[in-house]
């Protein structure tokens, strides 16, 4: 609880300080931007929405997701363990037991919302009861009760309002600077830029606060139900979200409750692919999550997530279990790290090298600029891109491997691809229901991975491949060759996909290489002929010889012509000196 209080205090303090700073600056630089009205309106609207939001959510979930609230007696009859848990926690913390809503959807998810502890709701889907056993169901409900006990949804509402105020300051300042009103347009624009920068900083602070509240809710669950049950529930929820066929209603529910759900849907997609073949092999699943828990890239990847990465949460739960001397046999990441002889120092060395690879083009451009050769800065950047492309997409022959071997490597990289060849088949599109989706889910004997197709023709080529070329490969045995990378989840950037239907080839780095070559060529041409001459020749080519010279003569005619009479008058006033 102290950790949530500290995170809330720091987050709210930083955001409030940024809001006050930009408001004061705006008042200094402008005398006509009605910031008071905009901010007051934002606070009032958010306040009203906060007050009526539980009933709005009830209405929305009933209309669009067919949610029904269960009577207390019905909850007790159907789910006695869940009923007992909710009433025990409510009695201990002296608030009314939350209402339990049930949505007829096989995707396993759970979330809570409300105004205060006393009127909170917990919503579960049928999938929670389909994929999870009773202990796991109780662990998930305990997690949601943790949000209610901690009142963290109130803090999130307050922080979100402050971030919205930053955007109001940005909009008002930029509008005033463009209108030409006010006493300092430049200052107003500067305030607008500062406000929008702080707005995005505020967004990431909100993500941090959201992740912190998830850790605290996990800890609360581990107090009520053993930590191992929530750990296995997280894996099964991710598995269920991948397994259940997507529909428009399902997608709407998962996306609209992404920040509220027990697991981030985006992360769940990837975690579910890992879990698909690992439910009977917790050791392998644990090794697949070592990337989340120990690879330095995972810390950067997590910044853009509303929830901690699944591996981080399970490692956190394992730590709680050890502190409480609870058994944690299935997803013990500490034991997994020992099995694979994890070298954290090597992971950090690799991270710094890969960071250098990403920064190399920019560094080369900066060094060129410092040397004073401004003309060559774009070419320097392009040369850096070409050099790093060879590193990021190694040309070494792809070796035969498996999805499990790729996913259980904690040193997998989001920057440098590992050449890999999988034997299996594409079982479906990565975005089910999208008839032009070019990415597919590829399955081998050990698991599933996303195959990322990138056409050399760009977006249009992707759509054409997804519409015409990809479908005939679905369900056909064959081989996938490409570069494996690991980000929020693992994926293979397709180089070639063979099947009984033929061969599907891709050139994922084509445009980066082509644009780099064009930039280098143009820069070399300018260096040889000179920028001024190049511009003149460009005008000659664009307008043709006659038109080009016409413009030249027109420019010459615009110059004042010499007046012979005026010249004679000047000579009369200042005659030539007499000759000796």
The model's pLDDT over 213-251, given as tens digits with 9 standing for 90+, comes to 899 999 999 999 999 999 999 888 877 666 665 555 555
242-277 pLDDT tens trace? 666 555 555 555 555 555 566 766 665 555 455 454
User: Does residue 533 register a pLDDT over 70?
Assistant: no
Mean pLDDT of 23-30: 52
- The more confidently predicted of residues 335 and 40 is 335
Query: CA dist 191 to 37, 107, 172, 186, Å?
Result: 18, 45, 10, 9
Least trusted range by pLDDT, from 59-63, 129-133, 168-172, 205-209:
168-172
Banded model confidence at residue 572, pLDDT cuts 50, 70, 90:
very low
Contact 298, 311 (CB under 8 A): yes
Does pLDDT of 447 surpass 70? yes
Q: Which domains does the chain have, with CATH numbers?
A: 2-338 (no CATH), 399-508 (2.40.50.200)
Cα separation values, 328 from 282, 284, 316, 318, 519, Å: 11, 15, 12, 6, 57
pLDDT for 1 beyond 60: no
290 or 176: which carries more pLDDT confidence? 290
* Model confidence band, residue 195 (pLDDT cutoffs 50, 70, 90): confident
In tens, the pLDDT along 161-185 reads 677 677 767 777 776 666 655 556 6
Q: Based on DSSP, count helices (H) and strands (E) in the chain, helices before strands.
A: 23, 11
Q: Three-class SS of residue 442?
A: strand
Consecutive H or E run containing 268: helix 265-276
Span 458-502, pLDDT tens digits:
888 899 999 999 999 999 999 999 999 998 888 999 999 999 999
Quick one: pLDDT band at residue 26, thresholds 50, 70, 90? low
> Residue 196: its pLDDT value, please?
83
Q: Looking at 32-36, 279-283, 521-525, which range is the least confident one? A: 32-36
Report the percent of the chain where pLDDT is more than 90: 44
Contact between residue 126 and residue 103 where contact means Cβ atoms under 8 Å apart: yes
Instruction: Look at residue 538 and tell me whether its pLDDT is greater than 60.
Output: no
Output the pLDDT for position 459. Answer: 84
Q: Select from 177, 173, 175, 180 the least CA-distant residue to 195.
A: 173
At 122, the pLDDT band (50, 70, 90 cuts) reads: very high
Q: What is the mean pLDDT of the chain?
A: 80
Q: Strands 418-429 and 121-125: what pairing?
A: unpaired
- For 578, list phi and psi in degrees, rounded to 5: -60, 145
In the predicted model, is pLDDT for residue 578 greater than 50? no
Kindly report the length of the chain.
580
Residue 366: per-residue pLDDT: 96
- Tell whether the model's pLDDT for residue 38 goes beyond 70: no
Each residue's pLDDT tens digit, 126-155: 999 998 999 999 999 999 999 999 988 777
Stated pTM of the model: 0.76
Confidence at 576, pLDDT banded by 50, 70, 90: very low
């Amino acid at each position: 609880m102290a950790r949530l209080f500290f995170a809330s205090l720091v987050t709210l303090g930083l955001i409030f300080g940024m809001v006050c700073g930009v408001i004061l600056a705006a008042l200094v630089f402008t005398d006509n931007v009605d910031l008071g009205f905009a901010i007051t309106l934002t606070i009032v609207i958010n306040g009203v929405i906060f007050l009526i939001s539980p009933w709005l959510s009830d209405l929305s979930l009933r209309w669009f997701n067919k949610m029904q609230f269960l009577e207390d007696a019905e909850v007790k009859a159907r789910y006695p363990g869940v009923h007992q848990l909710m009433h025990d926690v409510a009695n201990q913390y002296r608030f009314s037991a939350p209402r339990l809503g049930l949505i007829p959807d096989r995707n396993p998810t759970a979330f809570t919302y409300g105004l205060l502890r006393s009127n909170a709701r917990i919503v579960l889907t049928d999938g929670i009861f389909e994929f999870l056993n009773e202990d796991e169901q109780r662990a998930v409900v305990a997690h949601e009760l943790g949000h209610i006990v901690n009142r963290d949804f109130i803090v999130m509402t307050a922080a979100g309002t402050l971030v919205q105020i930053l955007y109001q300051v940005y909009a008002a300042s930029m509008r005033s600077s463009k209108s030409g009103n006010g006493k300092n347009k430049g200052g107003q624009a500067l305030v607008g830029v500062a406000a929008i920068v702080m707005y995005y900083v505020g967004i990431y602070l909100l993500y941090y606060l959201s992740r912190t509240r998830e850790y605290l809710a996990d800890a609360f669950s581990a107090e009520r139900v053993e930590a191992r049950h929530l750990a296995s529930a997280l894996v099964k929820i991710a598995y269920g979200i991948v397994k259940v066929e997507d529909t428009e209603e399902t997608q709407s529910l998962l996306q609209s409750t992404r920040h509220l759900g027990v697991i981030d849907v985006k992360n769940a997609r990837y975690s579910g692919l890992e879990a698909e073949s690992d439910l009977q092999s917790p050791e392998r699943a644990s090794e697949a999550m070592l990337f989340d828990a120990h690879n330095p890239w995972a810390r950067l990847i997590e910044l853009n997530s509303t929830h901690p990465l699944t591996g981080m949460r399970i490692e956190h739960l394992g730590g709680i279990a050890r502190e409480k001397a609870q058994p944690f046999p299935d997803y013990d990441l500490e034991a997994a790290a020992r099995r694979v002889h994890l070298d954290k120092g090597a992971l950090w060395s690799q991270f710094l090298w890969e960071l250098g690879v990403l920064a190399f083009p920019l560094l080369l451009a900066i060094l060129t600029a410092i040397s004073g050769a401004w003309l060559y800065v774009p070419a320097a950047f392009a040369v850096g891109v070409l050099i790093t492309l060879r590193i990021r997409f190694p040309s070494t022959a792809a070796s035969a491997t498996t999805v499990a071997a790729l996913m259980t490597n904690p040193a997998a990289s989001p920057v440098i691809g590992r050449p890999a060849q999988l034997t299996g088949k594409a079982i479906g599109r990565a975005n089910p229901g999208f008839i032009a989706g070019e990415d597919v889910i590829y399955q081998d004997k050990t698991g599933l991975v996303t195959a990322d197709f990138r056409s050399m023709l760009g977006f249009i080529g992707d759509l054409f491949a997804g519409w015409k070329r990809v479908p005939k490969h679905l369900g056909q045995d064959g081989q996938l060759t490409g570069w494996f990378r690991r980000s929020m989840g693992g994926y293979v950037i397709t180089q070639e996909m063979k099947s009984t239907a033929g061969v599907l080839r891709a050139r994922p780095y084509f445009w980066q290489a082509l644009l780099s070559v064009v930039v280098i060529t143009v820069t070399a041409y300018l260096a040889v002929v000179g920028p001024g001459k190049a511009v003149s020749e460009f005008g000659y080519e664009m307008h043709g010889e006659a038109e080009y010279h016409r413009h030249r003569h027109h420019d010459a005619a615009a110059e004042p012509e010499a007046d012979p009479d005026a010249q004679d008058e000047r000579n009369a006033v200042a005659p030539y000196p007499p000759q000796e």
